[in-house]
Amino acid sequence: MDGTANKLLDGVRVVESASLLNGDTLGMLLGDLGADVIKVESPGRGDYLRDFMGQITPHHSPAHLQVNRNKRSVAIDVRTDAGRDAFWRLLDTADVFVDGNAGGATDRLGIGYDSQRQRNPRIVFASVTGFGLLGPYHSIPTHGMMMTALAGANPVARTEDGLMRPVPSSGLGGTERGGEATTAAAVHAALQVCAALYARERTGLGCHIDVAGSDAVIAQAMVSVIYALNDSRLTDRSSLPTIDGGVWTGAKYQFYETSDHKIVMLAAIEDKFWRSFCEAIGRTDLADSDNSATGGVDFGKDETALRAELDKIFAGHDQEHWTDLAVRQRIPIGPVPGTIAEMADDRHIKARSIIVDGDHPGAGPFTYVGSPAVIDGAPFTVRRPAPALGEHTDEVLSELGYEAEELRALAADRVIGGI
C-alpha cells in the first residue's frame, strides 16, 4: 500500500444523500478508507452544513470541511423525472447508498430501499438517523443532543438559577461515556457497511442497515450500562473502585499534578504495575499489598494517606519526566493535556497523524481530525478537500455517459447545478 492514502475500499462506490453530521460522517469514514463517495445534493441549497456552525469563508464551515472531505458533489434535482433518471444511472454503478435523511424521506422521493434493491439487488443501503427506523419514535426528526438524551446521556436537574442544566452522573458513570451521537452512529454504521460488503461477496446480495445515534451511544457506554442494569445482581463488590459523587477516588487510578503544573494519570491498578512503579521511584515501602482476592487488581480505594503521599511524589518532577519514566519502565502513567491545543501538540498525538494540517482551495489552511487507524504505517492524508455544491456534477455525469449537450440542457432546465 502506498503512503499517500488509505485504499482499503478502493474500487467501492458510495452514493451519499445526507445533510448535517449523521450521514455526512459515515460518508467521510468510507471516503477516508478509499471509497469513491459521490454526494448527491439538491441544486441551489445542498447540504446546509456548509453555512451552519460558523464560517471560515462563505459556504465553508469547519464541520463541512471535516465531514465532507474525500467526496465528490453532484447537484441533481431528484424530484424531476430527468433528475431521477440521472440518479438511477448513478445508483447502477454504486455499491453503497448512505441515507442520512429523516426516516421515510427517500421513500417519499421514490428512491428508498425497496426501490433501490429492485433495481440493484447488490446495494448496501445504510440509514443513519437519530432514533432509527424501527420503533415508535422513528418519525421524529432529531439533532445530536436529542439522541444522547434518549440514550440517558444528558442527566439534568434544576439548578440554583431555576433552569434545567446538565448534571454529572454517579456510580461507574452513565451513558454520557458513549460519546457524541452522530459520530458514534457513523462509526458503527461504517463497521456494518464493511461487513455487508464482505457478506455480499458470498451471497451476491446487499442489505438494509438501520443505525440510530441513540443506540450507538448506549452501545459505546456498554460497561456503564451493564453495571447499572445488573447492579442488584452483584454479590461481591470488593473489586469495584471507590466512587464519590461520580468521581473515582482511588489512589492508584488517579490524576496528579506535576512540578510544571501539568497533569499525569497513574493507572497502576495491577500488582505488577504498582510494584514496578514503587521500585522505579525508590519507594518499595509502598508496594506491600495482598490483592489475591480481587485477582491482583486494586484501585487504591479508601487510601487517602497514600493519595496524599503520591501527590507529593508526582509534584517532585515535571510531566515529561513522568512520561519518559513510563516509556522506559513500561508503567501505566500518561500525560493529561489541559486544552485541545495542548493535546494537538503532544508528541505522541503528532506521531499518530490523528491531527492533520491541510489546505482547502476555498477556505485556506485547515486542521483536520484524521483517522485513529494507521494502515501499514502510512500517515493519514486527505485525498479530496470538501467539495463545493455541485462541483463534480459534469464530471460524474460524463462518466455515466452524458454528452456535453445533454448536460447543458439539464442545467438550463435546472435539473442540475450548484449554488
CATH of the domain at 117: 3.40.50.10540
* Residue 254 sits in the same domain as residue 215: no
Task: Report yes or no on 8 lying in a domain.
Answer: no
Tell me the CATH number at 323: 3.30.1540.10
In the structure, how many helices (H) and strands (E) does the chain have? 16, 15
Q: For residue 362, which amino acid is it?
A: G
Neighbouring CB atoms inside 10 A of 2's CB total 8
Query: Any idea how long the chain is?
Result: 419
User: Which tens digit of pLDDT belongs to each residue from 5-17?
Assistant: 579 999 999 999 9
How far is C-alpha 354 from the chain's CA centre?
Answer: 12
* Residue 253 sits in the same domain as residue 186: no
Q: What is the mean pLDDT of the chain?
A: 92
* Residue 250 sits in the same domain as residue 303: yes
* Residue 344 sits in the same domain as residue 395: no
User: Which tens digit of pLDDT belongs to each residue from 346-389?
Assistant: 999 999 989 999 999 999 999 999 999 999 998 899 999 999 99
| Percent of the chain's residues with pLDDT above 90 | 78
Among 312, 329, 349, the domain-final residue is 349
* Residue 294 sits in the same domain as residue 380: no
Q: Which of 154-158, 301-305, 353-357 has the highest mean pLDDT?
A: 353-357
* Residue 270 sits in the same domain as residue 364: no
Task: Report yes or no on 7 lying in a domain.
Answer: no
pLDDT of residue 1: 36
Among 310, 329, 349, the domain-final residue is 349
Among 318, 349, 380, the domain-final residue is 349
Strand order in the sheet with 124-129: 71-75, 36-41, 13-17, 96-99, 124-129, 207-212
* Residue 191 sits in the same domain as residue 323: no
* Residue 190 sits in the same domain as residue 76: yes
Task: Report yes or no on 3 lying in a domain.
Answer: no
Is 398:72 a contact under the CB 8 Å cutoff?
no
* Residue 215 sits in the same domain as residue 262: no
Domain that holds residue 402: 13-151+177-220+357-412
